[in-house]
């Protein structure tokens, strides 16, 4: 578990399925995700199962919980991408909590956690080029565009990265 000034981050559990049923079934929340629209019940169940199983590697995605209300805000995590050895920041915030800085706060805490592991020397972030909010968050946390890595084979994706040295320069 990780705590920030406003948030609690804890590993995703199978009991978090109701949050993901709402979040991943919403056309607005999912328009910039790989499906580019709502997920089916089977896809949602698989998504949660994959997040839970990823923790067997010692790291993965967290639920973001607001300390003051105990509401689920969203999720954040660093997981291995389809490009071996490349670790990708992932996050999503429920519409009711958007624009309050929760994604940035959770992402910084999650990256710090990931960089504390010896297999990490940098973390990537990927966003669709028309997802201006996500691109802005990646830039605000100190990630810069990289053209040396393409983590996913899809058009219209921008890839960013932050090294451990740069992260600790900004946040230490």
Mutual angle of helices 164-171 and 102-115, in 10-degree steps: 120
Show pLDDT as tens, one digit a residue, over the chain (172 residues). 999 999 999 999 999 999 999 999 999 888 888 778 899 999 999 999 999 999 998 899 999 999 999 999 999 999 988 888 889 999 999 989 999 999 999 999 999 999 988 778 999 999 999 999 999 999 999 999 998 777 777 788 899 999 999 999 999 8
pLDDT in the model for residue 172:
80
Answering whether pTM is above 0.85, one says yes
Please state the length of the chain.
172
Radius of gyration of the chain (CA): 15
pLDDT in the model for residue 17:
97
Q: Are 22 and 74 in contact (CB under 8 A)?
A: no
pLDDT in the model for residue 102:
96
CATH number assigned to the domain with residue range 2-171, chosen from the 4 options 3.30.1330.10, 3.30.43.10, 3.10.28.10, 3.40.630.30: 3.40.630.30
Closest CA to 33 of 77, 81, 110, 90: 90
Q: What is the rounded distance in angstroms from the CA atom of residue 119 to the CA atom of residue 105?
A: 23
pLDDT in the model for residue 132:
93
Q: What is the rounded distance in angstroms from the CA atom of residue 4 to the CA atom of residue 139?
A: 20
Question: Cβ atoms within 10 A of the Cβ of 22, count?
Answer: 13
pLDDT in the model for residue 110:
95
pLDDT in the model for residue 112:
95
Query: Domain boundaries in the chain?
Result: 2-171
Give the 3-state secondary structure of the chain. Answer: CEECCCEEEEECCHHHHHHHHHHHCCHHHHCCCCCCCCCCHHHHHHHHHHHHHHHHHCCCEEEEEECCCCCEEEEEEEEECCCCCCEEEEEEECHHHCCCCHHHHHHHHHHHHHHCCCCCCEEEEEEECCCHHHHHHHHHCCCEECCCCCCCCCCCEEEEEEEHHHHHHHHC
Q: What is the rounded distance in angstroms from the CA atom of residue 21 to the CA atom of residue 19?
A: 5
pLDDT in the model for residue 101:
95
pLDDT in the model for residue 131:
92
pLDDT in the model for residue 50:
94
């Amino acid at each position: 578990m990780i705590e920030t000034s406003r948030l609690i981050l804890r590993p995703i559990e199978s009991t978090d399925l109701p949050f993901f049923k709402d979040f991943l079934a919403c056309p607005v929340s999912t328009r910039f995700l790989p499906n580019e629209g709502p997920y089916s019940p089977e896809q949602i169940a698989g998504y949660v199962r994959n997040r839970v199983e990823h923790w067997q590697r010692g790291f993965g995605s967290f639920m973001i919980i607001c300390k003051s209300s105990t509401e689920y805000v969203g999720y954040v995590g660093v997981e291995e991408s389809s490009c071996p050895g490349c670790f990708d920041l992932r996050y999503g915030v429920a519409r009711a909590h958007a624009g309050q800085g929760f994604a940035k706060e959770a992402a910084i805490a999650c990256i710090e956690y990931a960089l504390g592991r010896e297999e990490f020397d940098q973390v990537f972030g990927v966003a669709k080029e028309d997802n201006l909010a996500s691109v802005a968050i990646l830039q605000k946390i100190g990630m810069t565009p990289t053209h040396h890595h393409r983590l996913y084979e899809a058009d219209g994706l921008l890839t960013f990265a932050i090294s451990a040295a740069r992260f600790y320069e900004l946040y230490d």
